[in-house]
């Protein structure tokens, strides 16, 4: 029986494919559904009114965190399961480490995530974040493959 199900999301359509499956499991088990997005905050070149500028890691993390929170709120609001308790959280740092840390901290019973997300299919069988989570997670991990 699952009491807490964590869904790791990165904003990609591939990652979001894990959400309906996790929501059905949460509904079936009466579990809490926890949506997590990790804002990595890589420096980015951005356009200004005149020219371009670099947004460094702290500024980028703040921007990514705000965007990630809005994204998770939107997903939670759009969930069809009315009787599922949904929590959402944005963490900052390296994705695989933060997913594992959050699962440990919250005593998660199951992690549901896509095998590939924002980085696409560079690792043909299993994405690098998924590999790390499977290797170090304190609980079972259910991986959702991209549809062919």
User: What sections of 10-148 are H helices per DSSP?
Assistant: 13-16, 18-29, 57-77, 95-105, 128-136
All residues at 6 or more sequence positions from 90 whose CB lies less than 8 Å from its CB, including other chains: 36, 37, 38, 39, 65, 68, 69, 72
Model confidence at 13, in pLDDT bands (50, 70, 90)? confident
**CA–CA separation, 120 vs 66, rounded Å?**
24
CATH number of 4-144: 3.40.50.620
- pLDDT tens-place string over residues 31-61: 999 999 987 655 555 555 555 554 455 555 5
Whether residue 118 has pLDDT greater than 90: no
What's the whole-model pTM score? Answer: 0.79
Say what percent of the chain tops pLDDT 70.
75
Stretch among 10-14, 19-23, 25-29 having the lowest mean pLDDT: 10-14
């Amino acid at each position: 029986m699952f009491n807490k199900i964590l869904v790791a999301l990165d904003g990609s359509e591939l990652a979001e494919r894990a959400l309906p499956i996790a929501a059905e499991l949460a509904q079936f088990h009466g579990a809490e559904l926890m949506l997590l997005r990790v804002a990595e905050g890589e420096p980015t070149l951005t356009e200004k009114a005149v020219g371009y500028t670099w947004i460094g890691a702290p500024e980028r993390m703040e921007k990514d965190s705000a965007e990630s929170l809005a994204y998770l709120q939107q997903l939670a609001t759009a969930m069809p399961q009315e009787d599922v308790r949904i929590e959402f959280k944005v963490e900052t740092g390296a994705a695989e480490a933060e997913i594992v840390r959050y699962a440990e901290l919250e005593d998660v019973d199951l992690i549901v995530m896509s095998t590939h997300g924002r980085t696409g299919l560079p690792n043909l069988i299993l994405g690098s974040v998924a590999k790390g989570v499977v290797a170090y997670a304190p609980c079972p991990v259910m991986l959702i493959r991209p549809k062919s």
